[in-house]
Structure 1
Amino acid sequence: MDLRTLFLAQTCALLSIAAILWVARGPADRHNGLRTWTLGVSAQGIAYMLLAAAGQLPPLLSAVLANAAGGLSVALFFVALRQFLGRPWHLPGLALMVGLVTLVAALSGSHYVASTIFNGFAYGLLQLLNARLLWRQPAPALQRIQRLVALFYLLMGLLLPLRALAMWLNAGSARYLDLPPGWQLPVYLFSFVFIIVTNLGFLHLCKARAEAEARAQALTDELTGLPNRRALDQALHEALERAARGSRAFAVMMVDVDHFKAINDRFGHHAGDHALQDFARRLSLDGRPGERVFRYGGEEFSLLLADTEAPQARQRAEQLRAQVALPPPELTRARSASFGLTHWRPGDSADALLGRADIALYRAKTLGRNRVETE
Structure 2
Amino acid sequence: MKAADDSYVRVAVLVMLSLSLLAGICATLIHWLGPVHRPMDLIVPPVGSAIFGGLIVALWRRPWWLQGIVRLALVTAVLALVAPAWFYTLQAVSTPGVQLIVVLPPVSSLFVVLLVMVMIFIPGRLAFVLALLCWLLIALPVLAYLLLHPREAWTPRGIDLLMAYGPVSLIVVVLLPVQRGMAGTIRRLASERARMEVMLHRDPLTGIHNRRLGERVLRGVFDGARSAGVIMLDVDRFKAINDTHGHPIGDRVLQAVAERCKALLRADECISRWGGEEFLVIVPDIDAAGLHLVAERLQMAIARLPVAPVRQVTASFGATMIDGADSFDSVLQRVDRALYAAKEQGGNRVVLMPVRPAAAGALASG
Q: How does 1:1-375 map to 2 (within 5 A)?
A: 131=121, 158-166=130-138, 181-243=163-225, 248-375=226-353
Give the whole-Å Cα distance in 2 for the aligned partners of 1:226 and 1:356.
24
Go from structure 1 to structure 2 and tell me whether the alpha carbon gap of 1:337 and 1:262 turns closer, same or farther (over 3 Å shift): same
Give the whole-Å Cα distance in 2 for the aligned partners of 1:356 and 1:132.
59
SS of match in other structure, 2:341? helix
Q: Give the TM-score, by structure 1 length.
A: 0.54
State the 1:200 CA deviation. Answer: 2.0
* RMSD of aligned alpha carbons: 3.1
Identical positions, percent: 32
Give the whole-Å Cα distance in 1 for the aligned partners of 2:332 and 2:314.
21
SS of match in other structure, 2:264? coil
Cα deviation, 1:194-235, whole Å, max 9, x if unaligned, reads 144223212211211121111111111011110110111111
- Structure 2, unmatched stretches of 5+, are 1-116, 148-161, 354-366
State the 1:169 CA deviation. Answer: 5.7
Go from structure 1 to structure 2 and tell me whether the alpha carbon gap of 1:333 and 1:348 turns closer, same or farther (over 3 Å shift): same
State the 1:132 CA deviation. Answer: 6.3
User: Contact between 1:128 and 1:154, CA under 8 Å: does it hold in 2?
Assistant: no
SS of match in other structure, 1:285? helix
Give the whole-Å Cα distance in 2 for the aligned partners of 1:270 and 1:187.
65
Cα deviation, 1:296-317, whole Å, max 9, x if unaligned, reads 1110001010001111101111
Moved over 3 A (4+): 127-133, 153-158, 164-172
Give the whole-Å Cα distance in 1 for the aligned partners of 2:319 and 2:164.
76
SS of match in other structure, 1:333? coil
Go from structure 1 to structure 2 and tell me whether the alpha carbon gap of 1:132 and 1:282 turns closer, same or farther (over 3 Å shift): farther
User: Aligned AA for 2:237?
Assistant: H
User: Aligned AA for 2:208?
Assistant: L
Give the whole-Å Cα distance in 2 for the aligned partners of 1:208 and 1:166.
39
Go from structure 1 to structure 2 and tell me whether the alpha carbon gap of 1:130 and 1:264 turns closer, same or farther (over 3 Å shift): farther
Give the whole-Å Cα distance in 2 for the aligned partners of 1:325 and 1:129.
60
For CA contacts below 8 A with separation 6 or more, give which structure has more relative contact order.
1
SS of match in other structure, 2:224? helix
State the 1:329 CA deviation. Answer: 4.8
State the 1:331 CA deviation. Answer: 2.7
Please say which structure displays the higher CA radius of gyration. 2
SS of match in other structure, 1:374? strand
User: Contact between 2:233 and 2:279, CA under 8 Å: does it hold in 1?
Assistant: yes
Give the whole-Å Cα distance in 1 for the aligned partners of 2:305 and 2:138.
75
State the 1:170 CA deviation. Answer: 8.1
Aligned residues: 223
User: Aligned AA for 2:187?
Assistant: L
User: Contact between 1:254 and 1:361, CA under 8 Å: does it hold in 2?
Assistant: yes
User: Contact between 1:295 and 1:302, CA under 8 Å: does it hold in 2?
Assistant: yes
Go from structure 1 to structure 2 and tell me whether the alpha carbon gap of 1:160 and 1:349 turns closer, same or farther (over 3 Å shift): farther
State the 1:165 CA deviation. Answer: 3.6
Give the whole-Å Cα distance in 2 for the aligned partners of 1:262 and 1:326.
19
Give the whole-Å Cα distance in 1 for the aligned partners of 2:164 and 2:201.
57
State the 1:266 CA deviation. Answer: 1.2
User: Contact between 2:307 and 2:313, CA under 8 Å: does it hold in 1?
Assistant: no
User: Contact between 1:290 and 1:307, CA under 8 Å: does it hold in 2?
Assistant: no
Give the whole-Å Cα distance in 2 for the aligned partners of 1:160 and 1:220.
49
SS of match in other structure, 2:325? coil
